[in-house]
Amino acid sequence: MVAAQQGGKRIGYVRVSSVDQNTVRQLDGVQVDKVFTDKASGKDTNRPQLKAALDYLRDGDVLVVHSMDRLARNIIDLLHTVETLTKRGVVVEFVKELLSFNGDDSAMSKLMLTIMGGVAEFERAMIRERQLEGIAKAKQAGKYTGRKSTMTPTQVQAIRDRVAAGENKSALARDFGVTRQTIYNIAAV
């Protein structure tokens, strides 16, 4: 655990992938002065609380994050974020990996950041790959049909007729209160 420099604060950042996930476990038992929490996928670039935390941090503060994969979407993002913060005089501490970075890090520390960040990115990719394989097998077995359509057969036919008549797909999406991709999916069948 890294202590904040004289007058600095320990600022926690927590990210969970969905609204119903528990945020408490990530920094449970870790002393922080303030916590910023996002409920968003790691691949999502719109993380307002991360931006707020980064704006809040000052020279001498410590940013405390449960693990590397909670802070960054990929290795490039991780390296950039840590380097940007340490150049501002902020120490970055990862609880799970037991690593902290202050900008005066040795070549070995930088190697560890790169390796551990790469491992986290690889783990996420493997999870996603297994998830897609499972979905494909479930579809083959007829057990995965996706989300139930909110559109009635009459609405679907109306969309197909209007697309065939040459109507603008964006306008159709607005008219029916769906995304353009939904219109394209219906038109393709």
User: Active-site residues: which are they?
Assistant: 17
CA distances from 100 to 47, 85, 94, 127 (A): 22, 12, 6, 27
Rg (CA), the chain: 23
Answer for the pair 144, 119: CB distance below 8 angstroms, yes or no: no
CB atoms within 10 A of CB 160: 15
The distance of Cα 65 from the centroid of its chain, to the nearest Å, equals 14
The first and second tokens of residue 25, run together, are 């476990």
Long-range contacts of 109-113 (CB under 8 A, 24+ apart): 113/68, 113/78, 113/79, 113/82
Could you report how far apart the first and last alpha carbons of the chain are, in Å? Answer: 57
How far apart (Å, rounded) are the C-alpha atoms in residues 75 and 64? 18
